[in-house]
Amino acid sequence: MRSTFFVPALVAVVAALPAPAPQEIDLDLFLNIPTPTVIQATGTPDKIVTYDTKAILASATQVSSISVAVTDAASSTPSIVKRAACGPEPSGYGPVTTNPKDDAASFLANPVYANAANAATVPDGYVQTFKNLNASSSAYGYLGFTNLQSYSPQTCATKCNAIKGCMGINIYFERDPKITPDKTVCPNPASLTQIKCVYWGGPVTAANTKNYGRSWVSFSVVVAGSNGYVNQNIAAPSGYSDANYLGNAAINAPYDTLGYNTYMGAKVFAAGPFNATLCAEACNAQNVYNLANPPTDGSPVQTCQFFNTYILSVNGKTALGQYCAMYSASWTNKYATNVGQWQGNDRYTVGFSYSFSNLTNAGTTNVAAAVAQAKGEISASSLQSYCSTFLGYNDLNAYVTATSTKTPISTVTSTSTLKIKASSSSSSSSKATSLSKRAVASSSLATPTALTKYPGSVISSACSALVTSVPKTGTVTLSTATVTGATSRSTVVKTVTTTTR
Ligand SMILES: *[C@@H]1O[C@H](CO)[C@@H](O)[C@H](O)[C@H]1NC(C)=O
Ligand SMILES: *[C@@H]1O[C@H](CO)[C@@H](O)[C@H](O)[C@H]1NC(C)=O
Ligand SMILES: *[C@@H]1O[C@H](CO)[C@@H](O)[C@H](O)[C@H]1NC(C)=O
């Protein structure tokens, strides 16, 4: 009887399966991306910043060989006009504070700004994220700003709606100099008050609203009455369901009912506004690549049918980029349980999380894929001896094709009939010089931990497939055997094509 099992065709099937639960946020994807610096809304008002989405997509998805021409690059740098010393600054339309003094402390103590912020109504289609802070935001995807003539979140939102990719707004009063400060001539000029409306491509939250001001020569720029709003309408990418809002949590999918890992990895986009279509295109590109490069072992191609995309931030403040996690099956909100993770002293958090499913196929369970995955794990973990026991035989290599394997693992010997039938083709015949049959008590058949996620039918198919892969030649005999189970009688009808070398 053989005591070692040699299954040459399957040795290199699966090196390591990606861990499905938890789907750790892959922080390495951000390794080569510089941490964004705090953005001040300065420069020329109404210069709307645009981003080249094709370039963003191309750089984020290059590993999957997506070929996107990097063309029509748009200007992505706000032009900062150098102003003459003591020349005029843009007019401000907000109430100016001169009482008791024209300084930062008096400005911050003036209730007129808080009153305006507290009384403001929420713009249509927006949700308020904070009210009356003394700071401006530095969120993801800076898109520029406008100096308004009145403190109107609705006006600001209407302008945001017209800007491609605008997802959030920050409106506030800013104490600015009337003329451009100059070290020698006019270090601390009189103030004016701007009503700034700043556009962002990602969520504007209290956590990322920490710009309390700055010094400009001897002038103190400070902020009051700062309100934040986000637009929760995310356009569905073509071919996908409407956005499903997951709040501050990412999907953390378990194995599916067949034990299959539906997680397919992640991409990140670190420039431009939040854009769900970028993730949809990464998902589609991955499918094109996977279909063109099918697994060499003949197992089914895994395709992306569902994705979860969100903004990943570090330490509650700096948005690093848009994360895009891909799956071959859809998962409901119940599985949105990953609220972030720590790395060293840095806390990474999830925000603005949405999921989308393929409209025509949200992803279904795939027996062949689960069996292929199980086969890989059995080989990688050298569990062939378990297979032999599971199938009820001592000699793994002495067996043939299982055509009917519906028995659940826990009741393998006590329930239905396990039919194992040889194929008549010579390619799947096998050697059985010392075929011996054992009755296996279910209690004695402990499932290896790695295989507990699979139903018995999948284990059975995987085990049987491993056995049949041994190529054999020789004479053919037929035999039939019966086995008595632990709790009840069950019949194993096996028509074995045995061969002798
Ligand atoms: C803003 O500053 C003023 C003056 O220092 C202070 O009274 C107020 O509490 C501050 N508001 C917030 C939200 O921090
Ligand atoms: C989002 O990305 C898609 C695909 O690249 C692009 O066509 C679309 O214009 C982008 N939308 C925004 C708001 O940037
Ligand atoms: C949705 O899934 C089907 C089946 O896998 C695929 O043919 C189709 O291209 C997918 N749609 C999109 C938008 O990716």
Does pLDDT of 498 surpass 60? no
SS3 207: helix
Q: Residues near ligand 2 with C-beta < 6 Å?
A: 53, 57, 164-165, 273, 275, 277-278, 281
CA of 266 to the centre of ligand 3 (A): 18
Ligand 1 site, CB within 6 A: 108-109, 132-134
Ligand closest to CA 239: 3
CA distances (Å), origin 66, targets 24, 28, 135, 262, 266: 25, 21, 42, 22, 15
pLDDT value for 391: 78
Nearest to 391 by CA among 470, 465, 336, 299: 465
| pLDDT for res 477 | 33
Cα–Cα distance, 495 to 477 (Å, whole number): 9
- Whole-model pTM? 0.64
Residue 158's φ and ψ, nearest 5 degrees, are -60, -40
State yes or no: pLDDT of 481 exceeds 60: no
pLDDT at 29: 78
pLDDT value, residue 384:
82
Q: 474 φ, ψ to 5°?
A: 140, -165
Question: Is it the case that residue 424 has pLDDT exceeding 50?
Answer: no
Rounded Cα distance, 495 and 418, in Å: 12
Token pair 């590993």 in the structure block, residue: 63
Who wins on pLDDT, 30 or 340?
A: 340
Name which of 291, 318, 317 is nearest 302 in CA terms: 291
Nearest to 400 by CA among 439, 447, 435: 435
Tally of CB atoms within 10 A around 114: 17
Q: In this predicted model, what pLDDT tens digit does every residue of 122-173 receive, in sequence order?
A: 999 898 989 999 999 988 889 999 999 999 999 999 999 999 889 899 999 9
> What whole-number distance in Å separates Cα of residue 66 and Cα of residue 168?
30
Asked if residue 309 has pLDDT above 70, the reply is yes
Residue 36 is predicted with a pLDDT of: 63
Minimal-distance CA residue to ligand 3 atom 3: 361
- Tell me the mean pLDDT in the region 350-376: 92
Among the atoms of ligand 1, which is closest to the Cα of residue 224?
Answer: 1
Instruction: Give the pLDDT confidence of 371-415 residue by residue, as tens digits.
Output: 999 998 888 888 888 887 787 754 444 444 333 333 333 323 222
Most informative mutation of 103, 108, 223 for ligand 1 (most atoms within 8 A of CB): 108
User: Considering only 187-201, 401-415, 439-453, which range has the smallest mean pLDDT?
Assistant: 401-415
- Look at residue 91 in the predicted model and tell me its pLDDT: 92
425 pLDDT higher than 80? no
Closest listed ligand to the CA of 284: 3
Pocket of ligand 3 (CB under 6 A): 239, 284, 303, 305, 358, 360-361
pLDDT at 17 over 50: no
Averaged pLDDT, 292-321: 89
Alpha carbon distance 382, 380 (integer Å): 6
Ligand closest to 68 (CA) is 2
Residue nearest to atom 9 of ligand 3 (CA): 284
Range of lowest pLDDT (313-317, 402-406, 422-426): 422-426
* pLDDT at res. 334: 94
Q: What is the pLDDT of residues 250-289, one digit of tens each?
A: 999 999 999 999 999 999 998 888 889 999 999 999 999 9
The answer to which of 278-282, 441-445, 451-455 has the lowest mean pLDDT is: 441-445
Q: Which atom of ligand 1 is nearest to the CA of 109?
A: 4
Q: In whole angstroms, what is the distance from residue 159 CA to residue 171 CA?
A: 12
pLDDT digits (tens, 9 = 90+) for 89-104: 999 999 999 999 999 9
Residue nearest ligand 3's atom 13 by CA: 239
**Predicted pLDDT of residue 50:** 77
Residue nearest to atom 2 of ligand 1 (CA): 108
Q: How far is the centre of ligand 2, averaged over its atoms, from the C-alpha of 53 (Å)?
A: 6
CA–centroid distance, residue 287 to ligand 3 (Å): 9
**DSSP code of residue 182:** B
CA-closest residue to ligand 2 atom 6: 53
- Position 301 scores a pLDDT of 94
Higher pLDDT, 64 or 325: 325
Nearest ligand to residue 227 Cα = 1
pLDDT of residue 22: 60
Residue nearest to atom 5 of ligand 3 (CA): 361
Query: In ligand 2, which atom is closest to the CA atom of 54?
Result: 5
Nearest CA to ligand 1 atom 7: 109
Judged against a pLDDT cut of 50, whether residue 434 lies above it is answered with no
Ligand nearest to the CA of 224: 1
Percent of the chain with pLDDT over 90: 43
Query: pLDDT-derived band of residue 82, with 50, 70 and 90 as boundaries?
Result: low
